[in-house]
Structure formats: structure tokens, C-alpha cells
């Protein structure tokens, strides 16, 4: 199901909301403009969330989450445009609320109906793809193990060739082409260890005249870093081990959300920011804001802003000593700010400048980066995206002091998981969970 159907659902939701509120389907000019703007924004933002990626045809819930995240962003755009043009009083809040709720319900309903249809077809065997496995060693074993755990039952294995299935193989490798030709087969998956390139070439040679879909699953377990995307340059295929899985459209969408979100938060939280600034000023001598150099996107050094929580002091030899419980350097207001993470709020200005993101790996002091990059594998890969005010590690309890290498390792594992599994829905989940995490026990 493509974007056109989903746009039709959103348009129908607006008309139903019109009927509920006004008992009429006739839209006046202002409501018609709002509907057109909403559909235009949805036509850009829903695909930009990645909801219509081909791989999500087997992951209904991931598609639903991305669609709802895209719809939430459309709603945000409509609210911001209405506020900037001072037209909020023109529209009925009841109508808009019904449109938002009915639109979300419609997007979920159509995915649920599609899922029910696919499940019925799979149970009957009508939509299962006939699959032949070819391979050897642990590489092939991993593929079959993953197929056995597939909750969607998308594939039916009808043949096995190669050393991996010596006891229950369908036939010898040289019989592969004849089997594929004589049997209904949709896909052939080939998985050999890297050291068995000759067998891989033999299988591909046998299938060179076959019309089935042939997929080679590279054995990259020993090279696992960040991402295993396949790209091409000048006809040369590349397997990207450290590129982020976000597309250009998704990065642009995330940046737009960051700019809009930081601007709105600065406006809404301005009374709180002014109150904290006053309390910091009253806590003793020193500036209200503290700027610390940290690594940002691509390792670039940026000045990260924070409310000052410590008394002015000089670190010996340029080192950075993490604050500890009952640290005498921390001011009376600083203890509360650090425990609640409210000292991080000035970083909204960093987000507005494009140096940081609302959600991403937390930036560490330069000295800490230098120390841990030599001790923790893949540590610097966290700088493949912009650092965030909050992140997946922070909402899972890994915030504040990292006084052991084990704590830092757990934080890095969460950061890399976030990069590998990024979605707009995941960002929204983290933002919603952040207020509860701000009162966590790990910050000092």
C-alpha cells in the first residue's frame, strides 16, 4: 500500500471530522486550505519516515510506528504554521482534534486490515514464497535459525543444498539448477563463509540462467561494526560497515524536527530558563552558562552549553574530573540541576544552531573521548550522528557518572543500537520517556 491510499485516508478523516463537528461535508476556504496543506505535508513527511520501505512489508508494527510518527510531525507542522500566521482562532479545535485522532486511527486500521489479509493468505499457503537455501558452515546455520524464528512465516523452505545440510539436504550442489528449474521456487538464498568463495561462485554459475530471485547473504559476523548496507560506485559493489542506515530524506526530516522542536521548547520553557538563570546567578560568583568543548558530528569540536553547576575552579593539567556525590565543587542549586538534568536545557540553543540533535548519543568531554576510544571498540562510531540532549542510553538508566569502563561500555552499546535502529518513532519514544528519566538515580 503506497502513499496515495494513506493520503486518501487522511482526507476522509478530515471530512468525517467536518461532518461530526458541523454536520456538513462542505469545507469553506480556510478549512480547505488547511486540508491541502496537511495532505502536502503528509505526502512529504510520511514517505520520509521510511514507512514505505520495501523491507517493512514484513514488519507491520514498524510501519505503523513510522506512519504515526510521520502523522505526528504533520500535525506539528500544521500547528506551527497556524501559530506563525496567527490563524489558530479561525479553526475549530474540536474539528482539528477529530481529524488528528481519526487520521491516526485510519492509518492504524488500514495496516491492521492488510496484516489480517496477509495472515489469512499465509495460513492458506497462498502468499508464502518458496525458498531454496544454499550454503555451508555457521553462515548457513544462522540463516536457517533466523528463518525458524520468523513470526510472519513469509517463506517456505522447499530445498537445501550444500555442506550445511549434509544429513537432510535435498541434493548435491551440482543438482541445484535442475531442482530450481523443475520446482516452483521464488527465491534462492546463498550463504557461505568468506573462506569458501569457490563454492559461492559454483552456486552462482549454476544459477546464471535461472529467473528466480537470487540473494547472497554475506558472512559479515566477524566484521560487524555499525551497518552492513550495500552501495555501488562506478559499477563496483561496496558493503558499508560503518555507514549509518538513515537515508538522506530521514536525516533531513530529523533535522527539521530538531529545529522546530528546539524552537518550540525554548519558547515554552523560557520562564523556567529565566528562573534557573536567576538561581545560578544567586548561587555564587561565576557565569550563568558554562561552555565546554566536546566532539560533535563527524568528530568536529563544538561548544556545548550548560547551566553552571560548580563553583569556579581550576582542573589540574587540563584534566576533567567527573562530579561525584557530595562533591564540594557543586553549588547548592547545582546538585538539584544535575540530578534533574535541567542543567542541560541551554543545549536547546546548540540544537537550534544545528550542532546537536534533540535525541542522539550524549557528547562526552574531549579527554574522556581520548581515554575511551583506545579501550572500547567502535567507540567513535557514535559520532556518525549529531550528539543529543537526551538519548537511548539515558532513558535506559545509563546517564550521569561513568566511573567504570563497564558503565561506559553499556552506554556505548545503547548509543550504537540507537544509530542502527533509528526511526522518527524511536526519537518520539525517547523524548516522551525523558521527563521520567530526568529524575533517575544515576546523575549527580
CA distance 84 to 248: 28
C-alpha cell of 407? 558503565
- 3-class DSSP state of 152: coil
Residue 293: beta bridge partners?
A: 303
Question: Strand, coil or helix: what is 142?
Answer: helix
Q: Given the DSSP bridges, would you call strands 236-240 and 301-307 parallel, antiparallel or unpaired?
A: unpaired
**86: CB partners within 8 A, 6+ apart:** none
Find the Cα–Cα–Cα–Cα dihedral 37, 41, 43, 46, rounded to 10°.
-150
The candidate with the shortest Cα–Cα distance to 63, out of 112, 102, 101, is 112
* CA separation for the pair 38, 255 (Å, rounded): 20
pLDDT in tens, the chain (444 residues): 567 888 899 999 999 999 999 888 888 889 999 999 999 988 888 887 777 765 555 566 778 888 888 899 899 889 988 888 888 888 999 999 999 999 999 999 988 888 787 777 666 656 678 889 998 888 888 888 888 877 666 788 889 998 877 667 888 888 898 898 888 888 899 988 877 888 888 888 888 878 788 888 877 666 655 655 665 555 565 666 666 667 667 778 788 889 989 999 999 999 999 999 999 998 888 899 989 899 988 888 999 999 998 887 666 655 556 655 566 678 888 888 888 888 999 999 999 999 999 999 999 888 888 888 888 878 888 888 899 999 999 898 887 666 677 888 889 899 988 988 888 778 888 998 988 877 654 554
Burial 273-298 (b: 16+ CB within 10 A, else e): beebeebbeebeeeeeebeeebbbbe
Residue 422 to residue 81: CA distance in whole angstroms: 27
Give the strand pairing for 357-359 and 229-233: unpaired
pTM for the predicted model, two decimal places: 0.58
Tell me the residue ranges of DSSP E strands in 323-441. 357-359, 388-390
- Confidence at residue 322, expressed as pLDDT on a 0 to 100 scale: 60
DSSP string, 326-344: T-TTB-HHHHHHHHHTGGG
Look at residues 38, 43, 57 and name the one whose alpha carbon lies nearest to residue 4: 43
> H or E element: which one contains 133?
strand 129-135
Grid coordinates representing 132 are 531454496
Predicted local confidence at residue 441, as pLDDT:
47
CA dihedral 8, 10, 14, 16 (to 10 degrees): 70
End-to-end CA distance of the chain: 49
Cα 440 to the chain's mean position, in Å?
A: 23
Rounded Cα distance, 318 and 352, in Å: 29
Q: Which domains does the chain have, with CATH numbers?
A: 3-124 (no CATH), 129-222 (3.40.50.720), 248-437 (no CATH)
What pLDDT score does 391 carry? 92
Dig out the grid coordinates for 46 from the structure: 510520511
Cα–Cα distance for residue pair 8/12, rounded to 1 Å = 6
Output the pLDDT for position 173: 85
Give the contacts of 221 (CB within 8 A, at least 6 positions apart): 138, 139, 142
Handedness of CA 59, 60, 62, 63 (dihedral sign): positive
Amino acid at each position: 500500500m503506497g502513499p496515495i491510499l494513506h493520503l486518501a485516508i487522511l482526507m476522509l478523516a478530515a471530512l468525517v471530522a467536518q461532518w461530526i463537528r458541523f454536520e456538513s461535508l462542505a469545507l469553506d476556504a480556510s478549512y480547505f486550505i488547511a486540508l491541502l496543506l496537511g495532505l502536502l505535508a503528509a505526502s512529504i513527511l510520511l514517505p520520509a519516515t521510511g514507512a514505505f520501505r520495501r523491507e517493512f512489508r514484513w514488519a507491520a508494527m514498524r510501519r505503523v510506528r513510522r506512519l504515526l510518527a510521520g502523522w505526528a510531525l504533520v500535525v506539528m507542522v500544521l500547528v506551527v504554521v497556524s501559530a506563525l500566521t496567527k490563524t489558530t482562532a479561525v479553526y475549530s479545535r474540536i474539528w482539528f482534534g477529530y481529524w488528528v485522532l481519526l487520521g491516526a486511527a485510519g492509518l492504524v486500521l488500514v495496516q491492521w486490515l492488510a496484516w489480517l489479509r496477509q495472515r489469512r493468505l499465509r495460513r492458506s499457503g497462498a502468499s508464502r514464497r518458496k525458498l531454496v537455501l544454499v550454503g555451508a558452515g555457521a553462515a548457513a546455520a544462522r540463516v536457517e535459525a533466523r528463518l525458524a524464528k520468523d513470526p510472519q512465516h513469509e517463506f517456505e523452505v522447499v530445498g537445501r543444498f550444500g555442506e550445511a545440510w549434509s544429513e537432510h539436504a535435498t541434493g548435491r550442489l551440482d543438482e541445484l539448477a535442475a531442482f530450481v528449474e523443475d520446482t516452483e521456487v521464488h527465491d534462492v538464498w546463498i550463504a557461505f563463509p568468506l573462506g569458501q568463495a569457490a563454492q559461492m561462485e559454483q552456486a552462482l554459475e549454476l544459477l546464471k540462467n535461472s529467473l528466480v530471485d537470487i540473494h547472497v547473504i554475506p558472512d559479515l559476523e566477524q566484521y560487524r561494526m555499525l551497518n552492513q548496507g550495500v552501495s555501488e560506485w562506478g559499477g563496483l559493489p561496496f558493503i558499508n560497515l560503518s555507514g549509518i542506515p538513515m537515508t538522506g530524506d530521514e536525516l533531513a526530516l530529523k533535522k527539521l524536527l530538531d529545529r522546530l522542536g528546539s524552537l518550540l521548547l525554548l519558547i515554552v520553557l523560557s520562564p523556567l530558563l529565566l528562573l534557573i538563570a536567576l538561581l545560578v546567578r544567586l548561587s555564587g560568583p561565576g557565569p550563568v552558562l558554562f561552555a565546554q568543548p566536546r566532539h560533535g558530528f563527524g568528530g568536529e569540536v563544538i561548544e556545548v552549553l550548560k547551566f553552571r553547576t560548580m563553583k569556579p575552579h581550576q582542573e589540574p593539567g587540563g584534566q576533567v574530573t567527573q562530579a561525584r556525590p557530595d562533591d564540594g565543587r557543586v553549588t547548592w542549586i547545582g546538585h538539584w540541576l544535575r540530578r534533574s538534568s535541567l542543567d542541560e536545557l541551554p543545549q536547546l540553543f546548540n540544537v537550534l544552531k544545528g550542532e546537536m540533535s534533540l535525541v542522539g548519543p550524549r557528547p562526552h568531554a574531549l579527554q574522556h573521548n581520548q581515554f575511551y576510544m583506545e579501550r572500547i571498540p567502535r567507540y567513535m562510531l557514535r559520532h556518525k550522528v549529531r550528539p543529543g540532549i537526551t538519548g537511548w542510553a539515558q532513558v535506559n538508566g545509563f546517564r550521569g557518572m561513568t566511573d567504570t569502563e563497564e558503565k561506559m561500555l553499556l552506554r556505548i552499546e545503547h548509543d550504537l543500537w540507537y544509530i542502527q535502529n533509528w526511526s522518527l518513532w524511536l526519537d518520539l519514544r525517547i523524548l516522551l520517556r525523558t521527563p521520567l528519566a530526568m529524575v533517575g538515580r544515576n546523575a549527580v
